[in-house]
A and B are shown apart, each in its own frame.
Chain A
Amino acid sequence: IVMTQTPLSLSVTPGQSASISCKSSQSLLHSDGKTHLCWYLQKPGQSPQLLIYEVSNRFSGVPDRFSGSGSGTDFTLKISRVEAEDVGVYYCMQNKELPTCGQGTKVEIQ
């Protein structure tokens, strides 16, 4: 399954919102009824950290400024009220089949 993210880079003013799109080459709806799409943030010099799983579920400790939505093949990560600590590269990943990631979206603060 090929994952395509847009945009590849984003410059955001603190306090404003940002959205990242992720499209899959086939539906991520599994026979178990779940849609297996995750979002990660990789901060500079760190390992990827899970933000959202199964499209819209925030992982433990993730601020509610982060929200995920979508279905089928089209998904969106929204960051409300962007803060300086949100800089890094965001990846979507599907694990309906053998996991594959998008190319990443680099988020910078203006």
Chain B
Amino acid sequence: IAGITQAPTSQILAAGRRMTLRCTQDMRHNAMYWYRQDLGLGLRLIHYSNTAGTTGKGEVPDGYSVSRANTDDFPLTLASAVPSQTSVYFCASSERGQGNSPLHFGNGTRLTVT
């Protein structure tokens, strides 16, 4: 089934540890995004990529990094996790970046930093 796959589904991580959240899409979409979703807040953009080989910072990029070596994969790395990074992380893609094409979301990664 075409779509976006995120891994892991959930993770408990000790503060200070490094963690990479994986995201793969098979829709050949140009643009990909990482969002975090916290209770009572709207989705907040962490990083995005409008096309393979390029990335950009979103609203809350500090403490996170991304890479886009190819069209399909867009991993998100937490270099040294802190408790405030406890959240649900959603990867998304769209046909075009910076446009009006709808977002397709993965099922999310629930991350708890202790």
Instruction: Answer yes or no: do A and B interact.
Output: no
- B residues engaging A (CB < 8 A)? none
- A residues engaging B (CB < 8 A)? none
